[in-house]
Amino acid sequence: MNKKIQIARLLRKEQTKAEKKLWRYLRNRNFENLKFRRQHPLKEYIVDFFCEEYGIVIELDGEYHNEINQAKKDELRDLHLTELGYIVIRFENKVVFEQVDVLFQAIENAKKKQHEFSIARKQQLKKRSNIRKNHLSPTLSSSRGSKTVLSTKILTPSQKELLLNSGIGFVEYNALEFEFLDIAIPPDYSNLIFTSKNAVKAFLRQSDDSNVLNFHAYCVGEKTKSFLEEKGLKVVKMAQNASELGHFIVKNHRNERFIFLSGNQRRLELPELLEKNNIRYKEVQVYNTHLRPKKFNRVFDGVLFFSPSGIRSCLQENEIGNSWAFCIGATTSLEAKKHTSQIIIANKPTVENVLVQVIKHFKQHD
């Protein structure tokens, strides 16, 4: 099956609330008798909604489209499609819920502008139909030698697209389950240490949004830093691992007090380093990590690991054998070394970089 078709089908199953609502208006020619398709492959893209007859593309944007890099990609994509004769209508998700009439008016205007496109397109589709009647379509054969990996966490649609675009199949599941605890966080600390995004989520469940500006955050990982800043907290220091963060605190903030918000599976490096250097801190366990072992009766070319706990969970019921272990960081790789020597570590501690390592490795060893 064509890779883009695979991705499109996957995205249809994971539509946003805004996409689902708009689809109810557009499906079955409900609006202006226009036939729309959802999550449709178009050139090298997959567009949210597409009317082939008039060349109308509708894109609904979530918050991440406001990020500078993504906004630039969207602009280039829209420019390319426009140069090819399509007309692109782009709105934020909230428009579907708050001002859907504005979106409808934009579609009507696009239909009028694309009148000439529609005439040419109808002729093209008629010609294509005649050709298909006279020729047999070739059978699509599956590619040989394709690789399949196991991800120990559920990936986002864009992350899945990275793998599928590279011809890599995958199986995914959540090897871990998180339980947030209703524990009071001492109010007399302004310096907070986070070594995971889950600790941030647990903290926010207990905090008043108006008070977050009073805290200074010290964290591990770029994703945790971005999440903290998104929620309005000031990040003083972001480190790649807990040991690096601990050394920074010892060197630069020795006389300050900290609260370390942790989970039950946290490692010992950071608290041991703080205690050794007489840093005043209080540790509060704000969430529990539960292992979710699951048996897989097959062999994978690679397994994607995102934490030491994820490795322990996965390998309770499975053996890694000759599969490659792709690890999000050095700490995770230390756990992996207990089970295999075939380890590749991400250059940055992000899910996306783990996927990049998977793609690079299997391209080189195809």
Using the structure block, give the residue that is written with the tokens 């990020």: 67
Structure tokens belonging to residue 159: 């992350």
| Averaged confidence pLDDT in the chain | 86
Tell me what pLDDT residue 130 has: 59
- Name residue 260's beta-bridge partners: 193, 283
CATH class (in words) of the domain with range 147-175+292-364: alpha beta
Interval 62-66 mean pLDDT? 60
In this prediction, residue 82 carries a pLDDT of 86
pLDDT at 131 (0 to 100)? 47
pLDDT in tens, 230-277: 888 999 999 988 999 999 999 999 999 999 999 998 889 999 999 999
What does the alpha-carbon distance between residue 172 and residue 164 come to, in Å, rounded to a whole number? 13
Whose tokens are 């969207």? That residue is 74
What local confidence, expressed as pLDDT, does residue 126 receive? Answer: 67
Quick count: other Cβ atoms within 10 Å of Cβ 128? 10
Q: What distance in Å separates the CA atoms of residue 57 and residue 32, rounded to the nearest whole number? A: 15
Q: Are 110 and 87 in contact, with CB atoms under 8 Å apart?
A: yes
Residue with tokens 């009028």: 112
- In this prediction, residue 15 carries a pLDDT of 78
Dist CA 172 CA 150 (whole Å): 6
pLDDT tops 90 at residue 328 = yes
In the chain, where the domains are located: 3-134, 147-175+292-364, 177-291
3 state SS of 79: helix
What confidence score (pLDDT) does residue 104 get?
A: 94
- How is domain 3-134 classified at the CATH fold level? Endonuclease; Chain A (3.40.960)
Mean pLDDT value across residues 78-92: 89
Amino acid at 127: K
What's the fold here for domain 177-291?
Rossmann fold (3.40.50)
pLDDT for 66 = 56
User: What is the arithmetic mean of pLDDT over 94-117?
Assistant: 91
Q: Given this chain, do its domains 147-175+292-364 and 177-291 carry the same CATH topology? A: yes
Token look-up 């972001």 returns 238
Per-residue confidence (pLDDT) for residue 7, from 0 to 100:
65
pLDDT tens per residue across span 119-176: 877 776 666 555 444 433 332 233 445 799 999 999 988 888 888 888 899 999 999 9
The answer to whether residue 229 scores a pLDDT higher than 60 is: yes
Q: Supply the pLDDT for residue 133.
A: 46
pLDDT for 68 equals 57
More confident residue, 2 or 122: 122
**Can you read off the two tokens belonging to residue 9?**
């089908």
